[in-house]
Amino acid sequence: MDAVIDVRGVSKRFGGLTAVNNCSLSVERGSITGLIGPNGAGKSTLFNMVAGNIVPDSGTIMFDGADVTGLKPHELFRRGMLRTFQIAHEFSNMTALENLMMVPGDQPGESLLNTWFRPGRVAANDAAVRQKALDVIDFLKLAHVKNELAGNLSGGQKKLLELGRTMMVDAHVVLLDEVAAGVNKTLLQDLAANIERMNTELGYTFFVIEHDMDLIGRLCDPVIVMAQGEKIAEGPMEEIRANPEIVEAYFGSPVEAA
């Protein structure tokens, strides 16, 4: 297996509470891997450690063959790992198109000297970034709201915009945090379809933490199950649903929630 994310024996404690206990798991390159479990299972803590928001107490996190344990989110961003959030973090007073154009780092126009002495270089870069943003808008079928203030978009449109941000920098891996939260059923289908297209057509790898079992079942293979800070199962959703111990202990019957 070609693991793009490899979590090795990671633990995290908060005072007397052990949130993650010597947990190991991996995300295969090119996969859409789901992470589920009951409330308090430790999945959010593990997810935040992978994303660089929390530093593990012990263990190692490998990304693309390199040890990235303890790196900050902006450092992981430069390496090609991006994260979306349960609550979208858009620039509400900028248009959808402008939100996308803000994403690429180290743009020439960020330098005052370049704006004075290299205006042609700044203009050429701005044109290229704008064209890429328009291409992303078209891919996600958001052209009808490209000039709308991002703060006025629906919850589902904001989630699509967050996906678009990851496309502006050609991310290797996208961490999706509760992507279905606040999204109506119609837009959720569009969101899922775009995740599938980004995976199959553009080669994106996704690591998904989600409570919507129907969405997990549609998108993810494999699905990793956590409980009490540890990984307890991994496999296709059909196998997870068919495991009576998991169903009874963590989901009830039938499977309803993570």
Span 181-204, average pLDDT: 89
The per-residue pLDDT of the chain, averaged, comes to 88
Residue matched to tokens 């080669």: 203
pLDDT of residue 1: 66
pLDDT at 127: 86
Strands 58-63 and 66-67: antiparallel
Tell me phi and psi for residue 24, to 5 degrees: -130, 135
Instruction: State yes or no: pLDDT of 132 exceeds 70.
Output: yes
Q: Which of 81-95, 102-116, 180-194 has the lowest mean pLDDT?
A: 102-116
Edge-to-edge strand ranges of the sheet holding 230-235: 81-83, 173-177, 205-209, 32-36, 223-227, 230-235
Look up the pTM and report it. Answer: 0.85
The most confident of the ranges 4-13, 100-109, 146-155, 228-237 is 4-13
What per-residue confidence (pLDDT) applies to 34?
97
Tell me the residue ranges of DSSP E strands in the chain: 3-14, 17-28, 32-36, 58-63, 66-67, 81-83, 173-177, 205-209, 223-227, 230-235
Q: Which amino acid is at 54?
A: I
Q: What is the pLDDT at residue 216? A: 94
**Residue 66 CA: distances (Å) to CA of 49, 61, 69, 71:** 15, 8, 9, 11
Least confident of 182-186, 198-202, 215-219: 182-186
Residue 197 has pLDDT above 80, yes or no: yes
Selected residue with higher pLDDT from 156 and 64: 64
Close Cβ partners of 254 (under 8 Å, ≥ 6 residues apart): 241, 247
Q: What is the mean pLDDT of residues 63-82?
A: 94
**pLDDT(107) > 70:** no
- Domain 3-88+171-251, CATH: 3.40.50.300
Confidence band (pLDDT; 50, 70, 90) for 249?
Answer: low
- Whether 106 shows a pLDDT value over 70: the answer reads no
Predicted pLDDT at 258: 39
- In the chain, residues under CATH classification 3.40.50.300 are 3-88+171-251
Please give the share of the chain, as a percent, with pLDDT higher than 90. 57
